[in-house]
Amino acid sequence: MFDVTKFNWADAVVFAVCELVAIPMCDAGWHGIVSGEYVFNGVLANLAGLPIGVAGISFHWWKDKIPPPSREWIQRQANRWWPAAFLIFFLYVTGPEMYRRATKPVAISGAIGVMTIGGGQTSIPAAPVDAPRVYTNKTIHQLKATYESRTSLQADILIAEEKGKWIDTEGTFIDLHADGLVALENEHRDLFVCHFGSQWISKLTAYHRGETIKIRGKFEYVLDKSLVALTECELYD
């Protein structure tokens, strides 16, 4: 019968350490498999990560099979390092959400965008009307895939040169907001949003959910490693 009173710090520390190793490995491996770009590496990551995760969860029930000297060593290390282990585990669980809230940009509207930075706002001037358009050679799916199996900082560095470049794409129409923000989904099931100026609203209202529309827009950012955002968007045939 399950008795929580029999658990000790060694059980908790082994669980935390194993999950800190297993969860990132399995998460990165799964993304590699789903994206189709790192299938072999993804399978290896899951094959390595799953046993580690299971070992951490089940440690309490098989630790008695460990030789007493080794079991006592684990107990001593757990008593010594459990505060550090749980601090790292807490930061791992809460860190991404804290980072997202601290760096979350707002939608850019019209010719002049507004991006929240800290407690204030910074205006982003529009590019000159006659500036030549530079197009990216990446697709929406490739832009999003840059963030898979990488940290946000690593992906931001790799994708920096693509920001501000134009892209022609198409997607299934999902939703339209009053401020001209359109939500779409492409053939890879990647969600992305496009911001249109007010002059496009009347044309956009003619579309219904499920219809396919062609979009031309300027790449701005990838939010939460999953949502590609385009601005200064327009329709094209």
For the chain, give the number of residues.
Answer: 237
The per-residue pLDDT for 117 is 43
Check whether residue 230 and residue 135 sit in a common domain: yes
Q: Which of 133, 140, 134 is nearest to 189 (CA)?
A: 140
Residue that finishes a domain, picked among 102, 121, 143: 102
Neighbours of 174 (CB within 10 A): 15
Do the bridges between strand 191-196 and strand 113-117 make them parallel or antiparallel, or are there none, so unpaired?
unpaired
The per-residue pLDDT for 237 is 81
CB-based burial label for 219 (10 Å; 0-12, 13-18, 19+): buried
213/172 Cα distance (integer angstroms): 7
Is the residue at 19 inside a domain?
A: yes
The per-residue pLDDT for 89 is 60
Judge whether 124 and 164 are in contact, CB under 8 Å: no
Is the residue at 72 inside a domain?
A: yes
Check whether residue 85 and residue 162 sit in a common domain: no
Is the residue at 52 inside a domain?
A: yes
Domain that holds residue 198: 131-235
What CATH number did the domain enclosing 217 receive?
2.40.50.140
The count of domains in the chain is 2
Residue 116 Cα distances to 106, 123, 160, 220, angstroms? 6, 9, 19, 14
Per-residue pLDDT of the chain (237 residues; tens, 9 = 90+): 444 456 665 667 677 666 666 777 777 767 767 766 667 776 776 787 678 767 766 766 666 777 777 767 766 766 666 566 666 666 655 555 555 565 555 544 444 444 444 444 444 455 455 678 899 999 999 999 988 888 888 888 988 999 999 999 999 999 999 889 999 999 999 999 999 999 999 999 999 999 999 999 999 988 888 889 999 999 988
